[in-house]
Structure 1
């Protein structure tokens, strides 16, 4: 668990600090972690929910320094809504992921898409933002959402991973925008990189990140195997699959588990391994 008090600045190294937002939940762990990159001028990564307490904490942490960019990994409401108020306070542009607005059938009220997000600049894969002594490069990592970006800081060999890789739990992949095939491909891409440290939006820093990501990919493959074995015993609907696959699950997380199982099923259907009939799914011979 991250025991850093809400709103308190915590220094990671000589280039990076973080401030924890006051939005803990079963889906956000201790809350959204906003990162400040730089010393004389700053980038702010994942400003977080639109909460005046967090805005005041960030203004205190910025301490009058110029802000080069306010950067968002994706547009769930626990990540991007504070971008506009912070931009008004600092004069900084909002930079990062593309706009994405659609109805979200998932279980998370806090994760509905931010309909007011309006970036001044959208970063494509490989695009960079720079300040004094730091550079941030966009790394496209669709899967959790189609517009998800990570941000690489080569000067510290660090990757800010948003919700793509979290330090406390696997991420929710919720269709129709969340896509399991894209998520797995993005994990594979990260395994080919040589980052030494991941700083996620939720949970502690991740050391040995390639090993950690291999574990995430292996976990998803294990879930896929569970689904196929259960369906070989006969057709099942998603609640029945979740009941068998997630023994002892916190009831508050049942909806998230159902969305991730649906994402697996859609991927398996697209690979011609399962089929759907009404609300039931079955293995294909």
Structure 2
């Protein structure tokens, strides 16, 4: 849960939050970014890495440069390429001469009701990290974990020296992750959650939005359970005769701000695609049905 400390955290100030880790909050709060994008600086010696540099805003870039100081930036790492995460990568690289290393590039035109930031067409990595590949600096090692689902190119980074995992938008303590087709994939998202749940070495998660997660496996188990509950709820909606997404959402999200219902509909769609793949539901003349039902 969020605390007053999280909500009132000062912008553009580097906070030391754990061994080898500092955090700088960008001033881009929204219903989908919480208090804003959190950029992480990893390392305390002569070389550091920057994770999720955030939006291309002068105030935020200046704060990052000040926090980096005289250290060499060994890598600018992006978990994925939504516009609240990666646009500052290129200008930061220009100012520090650092390579951009991390997720693959992805630009997707999507005219639907977006539930988060659109994709960043300016992201051009110098190197894409494969699943399990690592980058190193003085006293630190970051290992990439492919975690598709929120986006197909999403990557988490494990700081092996401390047991910290930088989870981007894949796992957050304040909210569930948006999974919005066509690129968002619920099947892949659930597989990626299971992948993290099986990692017993991670002791804390540092998401791109919201407070750190100190009970990571417990949270992930609950998130998997939440998604399974949602799919059962969807199947009950179909059984009750609500066969279109627009009819399901008002009943499934009664306590949610109506402005977020279009985004919720994208999540329902992602679940339905997953259920269709598993042979549990199918689309018939713009209406969803359950196999075996009349």
User: TM-score scaled to structure 1, two decimals?
Assistant: 0.97
Change (3 A) 1:91 1:238: same
* Match status 1:77 vs 2:86: no
Of 131, 135, 155, 1:129 maps to: 135
Q: Which residue is equivalent to 2:251?
A: 244
How many residue pairs are counted as aligned between the two chains? 285
Partner of 1:153: 159
Q: Which residue of 2 aligns with 1:177?
A: 183
- The 8 Å contact of residues 4 and 10 in structure 1, kept in 2 or not, is answered as no
**Deviations 1:55-97, CA, capped at 9 Å, x for gaps:** 1111111112110000000000000000000000000000000
**In structure 1, how many angstroms separate the alpha carbons of the residues matched to 2:22 and 2:97?**
21
Which shows bigger deviation, 266-275 or 108-117?
108-117
Q: Distance in 1 between matches of 2:229 and 2:115?
A: 28
- CA positional deviation for 1:54: 0.7
Return the alpha-carbon distance in structure 2 between the equivalents of residues 14 and 188 of structure 1: 27
Q: Which residue of 2 aligns with 1:115?
A: 121
Between the aligned partners of 2:167 and 2:115, the Cα distance in structure 1 is: 22
Q: Distance in 2 between matches of 1:102 and 1:214?
A: 31
Within the candidate set 41, 64, 77, 2:70 is matched to 64
Q: 1:4, CA displacement in angstroms?
A: 1.2
1:8 aligns to 2:13 (yes or no): yes
8 Å CA contact 2:115–2:262 kept in 1: the answer is: no
Q: What is the match of residue 282 of structure 2?
A: 275
CA displacement at 1:104 relative to structure 2: 2.5
Listed as ranges, the gaps of 5+ residues in structure 1 are: none
Tell me the SS of whatever aligns to 2:9: coil
Relative to structure 2, which stretch is displaced further, 182-191 or 235-244? 235-244
Report the Cα distance in structure 1 between the residues aligned to 2:95 and 2:286, rounded to whole angstroms: 49
Of 232, 249, 261, the match for 1:254? 261
1:122-154 CA distance string (max 9 Å, x none) = 000011110011000000000000100000001
- Could you tell me which residue of structure 1 aligns to residue 55 of structure 2? 49
8 Å CA contact 1:162, 1:201 repeated in 2: yes
**What is the deviation of 1:14?**
3.1
Gaps of 5+ in 2: none
Whole-Å Cα distance in 2 between the matches of residues 16 and 107 of structure 1? 35
Q: Secondary structure at the match of 1:236?
A: coil
TM-score where L is the length of structure 2: 0.94
| Equivalent residue for 1:224, pick from 223, 231, 246 | 231
Cα offset for 1:110? 5.7
Does the residue aligned with 2:193 lie in a helix, a strand or coil? helix
Contact conserved, 2:115 with 2:263, CA < 8 A, in 1? no
1:206 to 213, 233, 254: 213
Moved more, 204-213 or 230-239: 230-239
Confirm or deny that 1:263 pairs with 2:270: yes
Q: Distance in 2 between matches of 1:53 and 1:108?
A: 26
In the other structure, the counterpart of 2:36 is 31
Residue aligned with 1:64, SS = coil
Taking the aligned partners of 1:261 and 1:105, their CA distance within structure 2 comes to 17
RMSD: 1.2
